[in-house]
Structures are given as structure tokens and as C-alpha cells.
Amino acid sequence: MTDSALREIADDPSSRKRFFKMLGGAGAVSAATVFLAACGDDDDEAAAPPAASEVKDNNNSDLKVLNYALTLEFLEADFYKQVIASGLVKDAKVASLAKKFGQTEQEHVEALSATIKKLGGKPVDAPKTKFQPTLDKGLKAVLETAATVENLGAAAYLGQAGNIKSKEVLAAALAIHSVEARHAAALNILVGRGFGDGKGGLEGALPDGAFAKPMSEAAVLKAVKPFLA
Amino acid sequence: MATSRLVAPELASIKVQGLTREAFLMRSTLAAGAAYGAMSATGLISSALADAGGGDVDILNYALTLEFLETEFYTRAAKQVKGLSKYENDLTKELRDNEGAHVDALTATIKQLGGKPVAKPMFQFGGAFASRTAYLKTANVLEDTGVSAYNGAAPMIKSVDVLAAAGSIVQVEARHAAMIRLVRDRPPAPRSFDAASEMDEILKAIKPFIKG
């Protein structure tokens, strides 16, 4: 009983459906309507609908954030792909985690690409990556890099929360953000970094202690630069 | 209650003693949310004051209730649960301290916004501390529930600073969830997209823990 209930929480297939519905697609209009209704009345918006130019600016601004996120997800997805292909991971438990995380990042790539298209934008191309030097260092370095990159990803999403204009896009980003955080915590524990010092940085399952810190786009792009060809 | 996917049977079976929605001071239709951390709170508060309406205070109070629940849960667990490994003990204390810091930060922020923090409810946890297994199971449910509560509410927060704070806290809740899941040998990130729950679901899920 208990296990099945927990599995339900874990594997609820409707969450994915709801997510894509939230982003747009067949039920986009009705989903958005329901979503906004659930937010309660917003007097300001009701009184003065935003001008068309403002809507366009907000849309463009969200597209920029989404394409930035897409770049990071491409990077993560490709890293896991190369790690699995390298055959470095022998431990079954770690291998299954890497596979699962990689699939998840790929789903993030697809969801973000679809969202960008729905908003009338053009998804960026996948960046050319450079993970071979990391792979050459062996399993430990690979897993540590994964742990660091996931901490980076979580901080990157957190850094964008306030920049997103659309509630639907924000909800989508949040749904991904907490998954990156889960990946980050799990990998940091697995590589033996423990909770971290709580003082910041990208090492540890709780590197900032009780309150996660955001990272700016500039800082994130600088940190991932070694992995870009 | 059976319809809520957040309510595990072991939670649903705990006796409910008349919690009402009003008990949460939930006057708005908003779901859940959070505030900024104690460390960074002061810098944010003045700007949060400028644009946070009553809605945000209600959300903060709802979040505060959830954090009270988690803090109390881990505080009692640290004292009562037998048979934890050293790591599990350390984890329990770390989570307790993190949730306590969330309580402090939320309380401070609500006050700074001119609101009144809700009183800490009386909690009951049934058999959750009877064994390592029962404890970790309940912790798993509470953390996953917390993540979905914050994710569901955050888009409704008006102040961009309060939103940043909610994001900061939910990221930590997600990390907790993953760590608890790992010690249970469960997938730390079972979904590609975490759920976003509405207030009704969350209220149902935590109701059994609150004494009337």
C-alpha cells in the first residue's frame, strides 16, 4: 500500500502531461485560462490589459531565457550521453542514475525546444562540446564534474526566476529547476562531497546551506566555458 | 482524501483532529510560497516591502506552516528515531537546521512586510518515528510534498524578491528530497519535471499532522 502510494508520487504520469499542457499544445488556451483563474483576480491586469508591444517584449525576453536554459540542457544531455558511451561507469546503481539523469536532461531539451517554438522563437543549435579531457581523467573526475555541473544548472535556473515574465514559462522553469537540484544533491552525495561547507561554491549537496544562491548568466557561461569546443 | 496523489496511506490513517482551512489564515485563493533566507533577508526586505501585497503575506504564512511542520518533524526525529546510521543522523540534524532557518527567515520577512506570522500549530506524527523505515518514508513524502507546494505557488507570488526567495528555498527542499530518497534506495529524481501542487492537495496532505 505504502509503496504503491509512494510510487504514485514518484511516477505520476499525469505530471508530464500536465507539464506539456502547461507549456502549450492542444489544450494551451484552456490550460492557461484555468491557471490564471487559479491565481485569483489580478485587478491591475483586469483594469489595464498590457499593450501589444509590451506582450512582444515580454515574449522576447522569455525566449532569451529559454534559449539560455536550452543551451545548458544540451550541454548536460550530451555529457551524460558521452559518459554512458565511454563505458567508464561499471557500478550498476551509478550507471542507472547516469542513464536516468541523461534521459531527463534530454526531455528538458525537448520541452524547452517545443516551448520556444510555441512562443514563435527559434531554438538555438546544440553547442559543440568538449568533454573528452574530463573523460580521460577517469570515473571519479567524470562524476565530480557531473556533480558540479548540476549545481551550476540549479543555480542558473534560480538566477533566471525573476527574469521570466510569463507565469506558464515560470512554472515550467520551476518544474525543471527542482529536478536539477535533485540531480545535484544526489551526485554530490555519491561522489562523497557530503553536504558541502554551506558557504557557497559548487561542491556539496547543500553548498549554500539552507538557502540556495542564484548565479548570473555571465557567471554560468564562464563556468561552462571549458566544456565548450 | 483518497483522490490526492500526495497522501500516502500511512499519513491518511493518522487521526485528523479538525483542521480547517481558516486555521491557515488562507484568505486568498493562492497556494503556497516562501520568503528569502535569514542571511540575505535584510537586503531584500525593503524592496519586497515596496511591491508585496497582502497576497504574498498569505503565501508566506502558508509556507511558514509547512516549514514549522518540517522543523518539528526533524526535531522529534533526531530525538526519537532509533537505528539510524551516522550519516542518517547527520542528515536528520542538517535537515532540521535547514528547516528551522526557513522558519526564522519566513517569520522575519512576514513581520517586515507588516504581516503577522501564523502561530506554530500543534503537530502529531503518529507512528512516524517508530522505526527507521517509517521515519524515512514520511520524510520522503514531506519533502516531495514541500517541493510541489512551492513549485505550485511560486508563479503566483507578486514580488520578484519574494519569488527569488521561494526559489532559493524550494531548491533546498528538492535537495533534501533527493538525499532522503537516496538513503531509501529510491530514485532521487523520479520525474523529469517536478509536480506543482495546488493548495487543496497540500492541505489534504499535511492535515493529518496537525492537531485540532
In chain B, the N- to C-terminal Cα span, in Å, equals 18
Q: Which of B171, B180, B185, B201 to mutate to test binding with chain A, by most A CBs within 10 Å of its CB?
A: B171
Least confident of A78-92, A202-216, B13-27: B13-27
Contacts A–B by Cβ distance under 8 A? 197
Does A8 contact B at CB distance below 8 Å?
Answer: yes
Least confident of A1-5, B9-13, B56-60, B68-72: B9-13
Handedness of CA B100, B106, B110, B113 (dihedral sign): positive
What are the CA-CA distances from residue B201 to residues A49, B74, B149, B186, B205 (Å)?
A: 32, 22, 9, 23, 6
Q: What was the pLDDT predicted at A25?
A: 38
Which H or E run includes A109? helix A92-118
What are the pLDDT digits (tens) for A6-47? Answer: 233 334 445 444 444 444 433 333 333 333 333 333 344 444
Euclidean distance between CA atoms A132 and A227, whole angstroms? 9
Q: What was the pLDDT predicted at B117?
A: 96
Mind telling me how many Å the CA of A164 is from chain B's nearest CA? 10
Q: How many CB atoms lie within 10 A of CB A53?
A: 8
Q: How many CB atoms lie within 10 A of CB B198?
A: 16
Q: What average pLDDT does this structure show over B49-76? A: 83
Count CA atoms closer than 13 A to A209's CA, side-chain side. 13
Does B63 contact A at CB distance below 8 Å?
Answer: no
Q: What is the ipTM of this complex?
A: 0.81
Does A13 contact B at CB distance below 8 Å?
Answer: no
Beta bridge partners of B120: none
- The DSSP letter of residue B22 is G
User: Percentage of chain B surpassing pLDDT 70?
Assistant: 75
Sequence letter at residue B180: I
Q: Which residues contact B155 (CB under 8 A, 6 or more apart)?
A: A39, A167, A168, A170, A171, A174
pLDDT at residue B70 greater than cutoff 50:
yes
Nearest 5°: the CA angle A179, A180, A182 is 65
Q: Find, among B212, B210, B202, the residue nearest to B7 by Cα.
A: B202
Q: How many CB atoms lie within 10 A of CB A205?
A: 27
